[in-house]
Amino acid sequence: MSESFESKLTRLEMLYAEQDYTIQTLNEVVAQQDTEISMLHLNIEKIKDQLQMLNSELSSNIDPIVEKPPHY
């Protein structure tokens, strides 16, 4: 009742094909995620730059008389 060589080989070929498909699919997902992560990093850097500009503009426009006292 043991499997024949051909049936074992066929089963191994099927497993290999399934694993190859899975690896290709995962590779595509990882490549897409890498692109998205790179874009997100660029967006974060832009937002940081905008915040720094806003902070510098705000700090230069603050009237020292209106500032909160040091105990706040």
Written as tens digits, the pLDDT of the chain (72 aa) is 578 999 999 999 999 999 999 999 999 999 999 999 999 999 999 999 999 999 888 887 766 566 666 776
- Structural domain boundaries in the chain: 1-48
Angle in degrees, CA 47, 35, 32, rounded to 5? 140
What was the pLDDT predicted at 51? 96
Phi, psi for 12 (deg, rounded to 5): -65, -40
Give the pTM: 0.63
Angle in degrees, CA 22, 27, 31, rounded to 5? 150
